[in-house]
Amino acid sequence: MSDVSIRFLGATDTVTGSRFLITGPKSRVLVDCGMFQGLKKDRLKNWEPFAADPRSIDAVILSHAHLDHCGYLPVLVKDGFTGPIYSTAYTKELAAVI
């Protein structure tokens, strides 16, 4: 049995809101932190409480700088995330605009 789990927190019933939480024995890493876009019913998910306490997340990995992959990061930080954010230099540069 593995001590690592993955929770799909977004992009499960729509192609936006990419968020995947990987939990291991000593850390929790969020892969992507995207906004939900499209239909109003999807966009309203951006105002729901995040599915995990942002203070409990150790790091974020961004795959790229599209809103549906990084657009929710400002809210995550506002709500208590303080860990490092890993990405390519180009993704970091583009995400800073958001």
Rounded Cα distance, 5 and 66, in Å: 25
What is this structure's pTM? 0.92
According to the model, what pLDDT value does residue 1 have?
Answer: 54
**What value does the mean pLDDT take over residues 56-74?**
97
Rounded Cα distance, 43 and 39, in Å: 6
**What value does the mean pLDDT take over residues 43-66?**
96
Rounded Cα distance, 72 and 50, in Å: 10
For 26-41, write each residue's pLDDT tens digit.
Answer: 999 999 999 999 999 9
According to the model, what pLDDT value does residue 13 have?
Answer: 87
Domain ranges of the chain: 5-97
Q: Which CATH superfamily is domain 5-97 in?
A: Ribonuclease Z/Hydroxyacylglutathione hydrolase-like (3.60.15.10)
Q: What residues does 8 pair with on adjacent strands?
A: 20
